[in-house]
A = this chain, B = another copy of it.
Amino acid sequence: MDHHEHSRHDGADTDGAPLDEAFTPRQEEVLEAALGLLVEGGERAITTAGLARAANCSKESLYKWFGDRDGVLAAMIAYQASKVRVAVGGPAAQRPADTYRADLEGFGVDLLTVLSGPASLALNRLAIGQASREGSRLGDLLVARGRRAVSTRAKALLEAGKRAGHLRFEDTQDAFETLYGLIVRDMHVRLMLGEHVPATHSDQAMANHVAGAVDQFFRLYGADAKP
Tell me the A residues contacting B by CB distance below 8 Å: 38, 41-44, 122, 124-125, 127-133, 136, 139-140, 142-143, 177-178, 180-186, 188-190, 192-195, 216, 219-220, 225-226
Contacts and interface: CB of A to CB of B under 8 A. Distances in A.
Nearest to A220: B216
A186 B112 CA distance: 13
B41 A193 contact: no
Contacts of A122: 132
Contact of A185 (B140, B177, B192, B195): B177
Given A124-B193, A142-B193, 9 more contacts: A125-B131, A128-B129, A128-B192, A129-B129, A140-B193, A178-B182, A181-B181, A186-B188, A220-B220
A188 B189 contact: yes
B190 A143 contact: yes
Contacts of A124: 189, 193
Contacts of A177: 185-186
- Chain multiplicity (copies): 2
A31 to B, nearest CB: 18
Contacts of A133: 41-42, 44
Contacts of A181: 181-186
B178 A185 contact: yes
Contact of A139 (B130, B136, B193): B193
A132 B185 CA distance: 22
Given A185-B180, A186-B177, A43 B129 contact: yes
Most buried by B among A42, A43, A132, A142: A132
Contact of A220 (B43, B140, B190, B219): B219
A195 B132 contact: no
